[in-house]
Structure 1
Amino acid sequence: MSLENYNIELDVFEGPMDLLLYFIKRDEINIYDIPIARITREYLEYLDLMQTLNLRVAGEFIAMASTLMQIKARMLLPRFSNPEDENVEDPRSELVRKLVEYQQFKELGEELRQLEGKSIGHFPRRPDLSQIDTSVDAEEVLQKVTLFDILAAFKKVLDRLPEGPAEHQVNKLEVSIKEQTAYIYSHFIKKSKIRFSELAGGIQKRIVLIVTFLAILEMIRTQQIRVYQEGVFDDFTLEKVES
């Protein structure tokens, strides 16, 4: 059995611009003065993590990686002072322009969603109250968790585990997604919610942690669990969805 058998696709999987804006927001970076070397390194680390988990990485993510490395290379080139060429364009300018433009479209989309909500309030329909799930906490539903948030929490736990042996070894996979799904469900016997850090706390092997994370993604996709965060960039909580 191999991890190559599992390809996970989620609706919350966003584009490369979202990942760059995630870094900028998380680290409170000035969007007009992006530390390109650091951002490129982190972007490639997340890209490698996605490929390790066999998440389907769209071509646009690869294209952005190429763009970042090209900008980084141009930033490393020496700049010769030339009195006749005072307005040499910053290699980051085009990327910054696209990020600002993309961010503006996202904010505009959010404003339109809010206007839609207000319009629905002014022109109410007759709701089918029998279809409302009263067990769902509205604050948890409104707290959106992106795949990048989940990956960030996973990376923190993964970084705590020791690196594997330097030499390459071919071993039979010791654990399956089915087994780790059962492992996750075993934590819901006494309670309906559990933090990811608590779930991963007893796991000592990197391969087991990776398969456990894949099991979580599969359970999200099949709506067996829901996830949310209590704070921005915080650990995420898993909650069992009652059938």
Structure 2
Amino acid sequence: MSPENYNIELDVFEGPMDLLLYFIKRDEINIYDIPIARITREYLEYLDLMQTLNLRIAGEFIAMASTLMQIKARMLLPRFSSPEDEDVEDPRSELVRKLVEYQQFKELGEELRQLEGQSIGHFPRRPDLSHIDTSVEAEEVLQKVTLFDILAAFKKVLDRLPEGPAEHQVNKLEVSIKEQTAYIYSHFIKKSKIRFSELAGGIQKRIVLIVTFLAILEMIRTQQIRVYQEGIFDDFILEKVES
């Protein structure tokens, strides 16, 4: 199986607002003063990465890309100093309002899930790639992982590898998700946990890394592994789920 015929429903896990909030949190950006040019560039880079992986992108991601480019274009227009200009709204204002509202909605939802989890004695559940392990030792502070955390770690490793065959030539290469799943399992022979950077360290070809990443996503989806972070934006850890 190659990325050309493998798809993951991305919109099941995260949406475009989540990606923007991810950038804002990661770079400690003032949500009321978003550097729109930089955010637009990074957003489009991630969109391109998702398409490279052949993730099935919801239409909202494309719509947000269009919105960001429109805002960027409006920000580049010359502004003339006049009394009337004081009433001109910042092109980013509507986006900021939506982001703040969405962030508040997410925080409220998380609080409700925590209360629910406390009332029935288990960890709150989130609609993302996280799998919370209640058997983790108390001294280990493991953070929830989103799809964008995983994509960020993948992109960091991918950017270090030399350009190889074009992505549309993937189906001609002798590499499959099944083979890379076996490669991942081979690392679990001696230990139950492995860092993504360690797993990817022995891979020298971009296309092999891409298929390995797809194998990881499939193993998460089928609950063969759990994924954690020890700290925000750290390398993520894969842990084998005992059957």
TM-score when normalising by structure 1:
0.87
Shift of 1:54: 1.1
The structural deviation recorded for 1:136 is 5.2
What is the SS of the residue equivalent to 1:188?
coil
Contact 1:223 1:241 in 2 (8 A): yes
Residues 113 and 62 of structure 1, relative CA distance in 2, 3 Å threshold: same
Distance 2:62 2:192 in 1: 39
How far does residue 79 in structure 1 lie from its aligned partner after superposition? 1.1
| Separation in 1, partners of 2:218, 2:129 | 30
- Report what 1:102 is aligned to: 102
Which has the higher mean CA deviation after the structures are superposed, 78-87 or 21-30? 78-87
Instruction: Note if contact 1:175-1:208 (Cα within 8 Å) is conserved in structure 2.
Output: yes
Residues 125 and 110 (structure 1), Cα distance of their counterparts in 2 relative to 1, 3 Å cut: closer
Structure 2 Cα separation of the partners of residues 129 and 36 of structure 1: 28
Alpha-carbon spacing, 1:213–1:147, altered in 2? closer, same or farther (3 Å)? same
CA distance in 1, matches of 2:241, 2:143: 17
Task: Summarize the Cα distance change of 1:209–1:80 in structure 2 as closer, same or farther, 3 Å threshold.
Answer: same
How far is the alpha carbon of 1:84 from its aligned partner?
3.2
Separation (CA, whole Å) in 1 of partners of 2:125 and 2:216 = 37
Deviation at 1:106, TM superposition (A): 1.1
1:128-158 Cα offsets, whole Å, 9 max, x none, are 9999997555787973110000000001100
- Deviation at 1:164? 3.1
Tell me if the contact between 1:143 and 1:228 (Cα under 8 Å) persists in the aligned partners.
Answer: yes
Q: Secondary structure at the match of 1:69?
A: helix
User: Offset of 1:112 from its aligned partner?
Assistant: 1.9
- CA-CA distance at 1:117 after TM superposition: 3.9
> Would the aligned equivalents of 1:12 and 1:147 in 2 still touch at CA under 8 Å?
no
Higher mean C-alpha deviation, range 12-21 or range 204-213: 12-21
1:99 match: secondary structure: helix
Count of aligned pairs: 243
Distance 1:46-1:22 versus aligned 2 partners, 3 A rule: same
2:228 maps to 228
* Bigger Rg, structure 1 or 2: 1
**Displacement after TM superposition at 1:111 (Å):** 2.1
Q: Return closer, same or farther for 1:85/1:132 CA change in 2, 3 Å cut-off.
A: closer
Paired residues of 2:12 and 2:128 also in contact (CA < 8 A): no
**Aligned 8 A contact 2:6 2:54 in 1:** yes
CA, structure 1 residues 207+126, in 2 after alignment: closer, same or farther (shift >3 Å)?
closer
Pairwise CA distance, 1:174: 2.2
CA-to-partner distance for each residue in 1:73-125, whole Å, 9 max, x for gaps? 00011112222332211000000010011111111112222333454479999
Distance 1:96 1:161, change over 3 A: same
Change in 2 beyond 3 A, CA 1:76/1:218: same
CA RMSD of aligned residues (A): 5.0
CA distance 1:165–1:22, shift in 2 (3 Å): same
Alpha-carbon distance, 1:159 to partner: 0.8
Q: Is the 8 A contact 2:143 2:232 kept in 1?
A: no
Q: Is residue 188 of structure 1 aligned with residue 185 of structure 2?
A: no
Give the whole-Å Cα distance in 2 for the aligned partners of 1:88 and 1:40.
22
Counterpart position of 1:82: 82
CA–CA separation in structure 2 for the residues paired with 1:223 and 1:205: 27
CA contact (8 A) 1:10 1:221 kept: no
SS at match of 2:85: coil
Say which is worse superposed, 198-207 or 157-166, in terms of deviation.
Answer: 157-166
Q: Which runs of 5+ in 2 are unaligned?
A: none
- Whether contact under 8 Å (1:225, 1:238) holds in the other structure is yes
Counterpart contact for 2:14–2:128, Cα < 8 Å: no
Structure 2 CA distance, aligned partners of 1:238 and 1:128? 16
- Name the CA distance, whole Å, in 2 between partners of 1:50 and 1:145: 17
The percent of aligned pairs where both chains have the same amino acid is 96
